[in-house]
Amino acid sequence: MTRIISGSAGGRRLKTPTSGARPTTDRVRESLFSNLDHYFGTWEGMRILDLFAGSGALGLEALSRGAAEAVFVDQARGAIQVIKENLATTRLGPAKVIQANAVHWPDSARGTQFDCVFLDPPYEDAAILVPAAVKNLLDARLIADDGVVITEHPTRTTIAWPANPRDITVRSFGDTSVSRVVW
């Protein structure tokens, strides 16, 4: 069972796609958001991008904690439907749900900037998809000044970060690692 951990929709259960998704565990999300709460101080006014969104749990958690808006991007039709249902159930927003390839979507979104970008690609392809998506985000200037990129990936996977980040913090939870990266 996946649920919203804290905030205005805390405790609400979330649907997850029936195939092709690996939801971030409550334990990992709780630790991640505790760290981000401390890092940001507040979610108020923040714009969130959830790429490879799956159920939308990461973006929904940020909205529940007070983020101003979120954009969810996933290419799977089933994931898009689940995100829409989760938004309706939690009554969180404003939000935009986009069915698109998460790596290539930044090319069409120029001009929009996000304070926090969540990347949770398929584990087996994380080493390829994360650097490609981040490069496109940076090229399209979608990451706000002092904005962060959060990615979940297998602990055994090394991510080749593009454009020399100024800060990388990695926390591991068994086979799962979460990286917080700032450019």
Domain coordinates in residue numbering, the chain? 2-16+30-182
DSSP single-letter state for residue 44: B
Task: Please tell me whether residue 6 adopts helix, strand or coil conformation.
Answer: coil
Query: Across all residues in the chain, what is the average pLDDT?
Result: 95
Distance CA 36, CA 141 (A): 22
pTM: 0.96
Residue 78: the pLDDT is: 96
Residue 140: the pLDDT is: 95
Of 2.60.120.620, 3.30.70.270, 3.40.50.300, 3.40.50.150, the CATH number of 2-16+30-182 is 3.40.50.150
Residue 20: the pLDDT is: 63
